[in-house]
Amino acid sequence: MPDDTAAPPSRGPIDTEILDRVAAHLARSERFADIQTRPSYAPNAVVADYDLGYFPGGVTRAYLRIRWFETDDFSIHYSEQYRTDDSWECRWDRHPNDHNIREHFHPPPVAPTPGEDADYPDEWRDVLATVLDRLDDRIYAFWDE
């Protein structure tokens, strides 16, 4: 009989080579004002801060935090932070867990757990393109209102 109290399997070590490629890829985009690879406050991630010119004045920070593992598991967290101390968050995940299937999405505005089961491409570039397309739609919606 399986042990239901056991932790989900590990995601494995961080894939530093993929993180370096992700950072280089994001650096070619005008969306981002600052990109940090494995900063001291997030040594297992790439953190990409959006250029705030893409957002209305109430947004004080918008960023992606991307973690990629040698198992091809990942977590891509998006956050908008506002002057009102509120935030708008969502997250794309692929990892073993006890709350969803391996691939899942934690929807905005609060990225709750459990999330929604999802299906992502295999290649990191395609996953990133999917995420950036969805976030572009979010940003365009600010200006369509």
Q: What is the pLDDT of residues 1-20, one digit of tens each?
A: 334 444 445 678 899 999 99
Give the burial string for 3-22 (b: 16+ CB within 10 Å, else e).
eeeeeeeebeebbeebbebb
Residue 68 lies inside a defined structural domain of this protein: yes
Q: Which amino acid is at 140?
A: Y
Q: What is the pLDDT of residue 48?
A: 98
Residue 117 has pLDDT above 50, yes or no: yes
CA nearest to 11, candidates 47, 45, 46, 48: 45
* Residue 34 · residue 46 · CB < 8 Å: no
Residue 3 lies inside a defined structural domain of this protein: no
CA distances from 81 to 14, 65, 69, 73, 144 (A): 27, 14, 27, 26, 20
Q: Which domain holds residue 93?
A: 16-144
In the chain, what percentage of residues exceed pLDDT 70?
Answer: 92
Cα–Cα dist 32/54, whole Å: 10
Residue 109 lies inside a defined structural domain of this protein: yes
Q: With DSSP H G I counted as helix, E B as strand and the rest as coil, what are the percentages for the chain, rounded to 5?
A: 25, 30, 45
What pTM, to 2 d.p., does this model score?
0.89
Q: What is the pLDDT of residues 55-74, one digit of tens each?
A: 999 999 999 999 999 999 99
Residue 5 lies inside a defined structural domain of this protein: no
CA nearest to 24, candidates 141, 128, 139, 104: 128
Number of domains in the chain: 1
Q: What is the pLDDT of residues 122-138, one digit of tens each?
A: 999 999 999 999 999 99
Residue 53 lies inside a defined structural domain of this protein: yes
Residue 145 has pLDDT above 80, yes or no: no
Q: What is the pLDDT of residue 3?
A: 40
